[in-house]
Amino acid sequence: MTQVNMLEAKTDLSKLVKMLETRQEDVIYLARNGIAVAQMTLIPKKSADKRIGIAEGKFKVPDEFDAWDKEIASMFGGDL
């Protein structure tokens, strides 16, 4: 844990961010008159799982799936 005053934070912002990125610090507290008022942390990285394909292999398309198109089209009085 590192605590820095506002002036130092303004002057050394790049250095402070680098400390977070390299994991030298987990949290950096920003202080005004020696009293911590805010904290800087890294934004958590998103999961590596992609939305597309996440359910791959968990659903089997029924054999009659394409036949349903004709059935639905006939309900609306037309062809697809």
Whether pTM > 0.75 for this model: the answer is no
Q: What is the mean pLDDT of the chain?
A: 87
Phi and psi torsions of 31, nearest 5°:
-120, 150
Residue 45 lies in a domain: no
Number of domains comprising the chain: 1
Under 8 Å between Cβ of 59 and 53: no
pLDDT at 48: 63
Residue 55 lies in a domain: no
pLDDT at 80: 52
Residue 12 lies in a domain: yes
Domain containing 15: what range? 2-40
pLDDT in tens, 4-25: 999 999 999 999 999 999 999 9
Polymer length in residues for the chain: 80
Residue 48 lies in a domain: no
